[in-house]
Structure 1
């Protein structure tokens, strides 16, 4: 049974600084010569980009529902065999969601380091830390790190507020030099933060004086049986749009296509690159088309190649922002509209508030696909949905799935390893 030092970075809520701390910690231990593997809890595309830069290795998703227990177990065991340290960043607050970060930490006995923003807080820090540590006895607890601490005196007050038995991991002062910029869907993408390396390095420097600089205790990760994939996509060439407008791509999704036998290549609509002529299928992932609408509208070479691909009845799978790109137009929050590809009738309109957020599942004759939805646009179209995804806990109708000719499009971001057979059916254009 492989064992590896491991730590789960969580917090009472979002916005406490989990990603900054996890990235800095990954870089600190990497600088000390350790091989670091980082995982992100739950559905997320943005945090893993930054964590991958910090650790120097791909960051995969762990989620007991979306990814599944066996795949989580397999990925952790594989990481434990090759790494000197495993870090897992939680999602939202420690006990938020079903399943929660706490459920994941308890399942794999990974000790939790809680990051608590102490801004405008004194002795209540101790009560909050005590609650996180004792709320569930089955969740192993490593200690607490105070973030946004105003002074040495403030840090002393926070430390002395901790009940006996709770480990003080240190204090971090507020600093614009290490904080990560964000916007409506979360953090900025890694490639958009010009001084990201400097921010990560400064975060690592800051953490060097805390107890987090010490490797955590080893955790045993029992292995799972190897998963053998049938060559359901053998000989198929899948082209994937990938740039700042289309970047919400699970690394595990790409790896699945390849393990099913597909050849994968990438192109950039923002750079006006065409779909490769030899591509049999096209994947348009989510991202930020709304931030790059004018550039996309001017990328005529790329647009022509996508329309040619569709006219040849070749497969197109589009999710969220990728689906928006296929519509007639995109309307911004200021009312201005930009033409899109016109391959699906309708328009998307950006909103200032979330239109949808949550886990989704798609039930088909090939079984169930898991995933999630997270978008600020609403869509109007004359197309009738072929089916709807559902909310896994309530079974209420979720995101519609549209099919027109060789195109399958939806707001749902699917985690393809949850159903390789359905993934193959999508890229073969089969009914489901």
Structure 2
């Protein structure tokens, strides 16, 4: 199996653009994303036709990380991994800081560094040299230049980089506002919002064939030895065979770790998707309901007006069906949400809590988190939300949350069979968590 990692010198350097181009240009690609992001994997699926998996060295120990990578690369010609932030950026200034470079070392994967070439000349060689020398255990095997005005400038920059660093340039991305992806307050627009996706994939493929040395990139993505690591959730195999899980998946709820679904299916669950926006009720004969994150604020009117679905969710709660919700799903289970225009939308009302959107990211509740649950389970996740609780009549929290920097708070609410909170949780960071969610399955 061939593997390659696309990294950037910093956020905004163009790694998402380059990753999208390479994924579109190659066939039979296994796509991956470093870190907890949900938006980029949606684009990966759009451009490859395959599910994209998060590779997160904070969420997962090294064996689990290798297992998820290898298991989901099987049968593919090449694995293309998109990095996060700058190559060495993580939660602190050590080299084992859960950064893109940290993951590259764990997986022993060659790195292609994307460098923004806007407004730079010979200094670009110093920039690349600094990145290549910072950690000799990270194999920077090639460079792609972004924001280049034309071939003449590219050849000049290529000469400087290769002369001073010995690292080959593998092409460039021209200045073109049509290549990037439109963004919104919580990141890029979601993949399903892209109009004429097949046409866009062909456009990106053409960019790759015209401006990148795809043949050389494929050669650099050399094959490696297999890890042959068993499933870290082996004790869960088929323990829920015959059970059905309803998963909320539509334009309002789309933020899920693909590996969470894999663990559920490995445990024997049949996954049945439904839409809180469009459907009138939860699927029949289900034993569990999973409400992920997303953009409920953008579809608050539709969610609030779908009274039949809200009744169906609350009826399932009262009937004892276990429900698990995170972030956007949590908001949907509260009394409601006040949007930035001041209008309040009534939701399910399982939790006596009211939430409100902010215009800025809630930095006090942002990033990787360690979660200690009231029942003793310790698990990892992350928070990233613009909303906040502004009225709370639920007194007992189920999660004690700590960040690596020592910051601590409480969140998460458990009411009978329903557990919900802001944290997005990676099931593979502690497989026991999935068993806990099913303790009350009829």
3-state SS of the aligned residue for 1:172? strand
The residue number in structure 2 matching 1:200 is: 201
Asked if 2 retains the 8 angstrom alpha-carbon contact of 1:110 and 1:219, the reply is no
Q: Distance in 1 between matches of 2:269 and 2:221?
A: 40
Which residues of 2 match residues 86-101 of structure 1 at below 5 A?
86-97=79-90, 98-101=97-100
Matched, 1:55 2:48: yes
Secondary structure class of the residue paired with 1:71: helix
2:411 corresponds to which of 392, 400, 404: 400
- Are the equivalent residues in 1 in contact too, given 2:142–2:168 (CA < 8 A)? yes
Alignment pair present for 1:16 and 2:13: yes
Structure 1 segments (4+ residues) deviating >6 Å: none
Once the two structures are superposed, residues 25-70 of structure 1 have per-residue CA deviations (whole angstroms, 9 ceiling, x without a partner) of 112111xxxx211111111211011111211211111122212211
- Determine the C-alpha separation between the residues in 1 that align with 2:265 and 2:334: 29
Residue of structure 2 in register with 1:108 after alignment: 107
Which residue of the partner structure matches residue 326 of structure 2?
Answer: 319
Distance 2:110 2:378 in 1: 32
2:94 is matched with which residue? none
Aligned length: 423
CA contact (8 A) 1:229 1:259 kept: no
Q: Secondary structure of the residue that 1:130 maps to in structure 2?
A: helix
Note closer, same or farther for the CA distance 1:79–1:255 as it changes in structure 2 (3 Å cut).
Answer: closer
CA apart distance, 1:173: 0.9
Q: CA deviation at 1:392?
A: 4.7
How many Å apart are 1:400 and its aligned residue?
Answer: 0.6
Q: Hey, what's the Cα distance between the residues in 2 that align with 1:80 and 1:281? A: 29
Structure-1 separation of matches of 2:140 and 2:153? 23
User: Contact conserved, 1:19 with 1:51, CA < 8 A, in 2?
Assistant: no
Counterpart residue number, 2:371: 362
The two structures have a TM-score, normalised by structure 1, of: 0.92
Counterpart position of 1:424: 435
Closer, same or farther: CA 197–383 of 1 in aligned 2, 3 Å = same
The Cα shift of 1:347 comes to 1.4
| RMSD of equivalent CA atoms | 1.9
Structure 2 Cα separation of the partners of residues 429 and 415 of structure 1: 21
Which residue of 209, 220, 224 maps to 2:224?
Answer: 220
Q: Which residue pairs with 1:415 in the alignment?
A: 426
- How big is the shift at 1:85? 1.1
Listed one character per residue, the Cα deviations across residues 277-328 of structure 1 (whole Å, up to 9, x for unaligned) are 3122211111000000001111122112112112223221110000111111
Work out the CA distance in 1 between the residues paired with 2:148 and 2:137: 30
1-structure distance, mates of 2:201, 2:285: 40
Contact 1:237 1:263 in 2 (8 A): yes
Note the C-alpha offset of 1:399: 5.3
**TM-score scaled by structure 2?**
0.90
User: How far apart are the structure 2 equivalents of 1:19 and 1:65?
Assistant: 21
- 359, 384, 389: which one aligns with 1:379: 389
Of stretches 252-261 and 194-203 in structure 1, the one that deviates more from structure 2 is 194-203
Q: CA deviation at 1:367?
A: 3.7
Secondary structure, aligned partner of 2:174: coil
2:310 is the counterpart of 1:303: yes
Q: Which runs of 5+ in 1 are unaligned?
A: none
Match of 1:272, SS state, is: coil
Structure 2 residue 257 is matched with structure 1 residue 250: yes
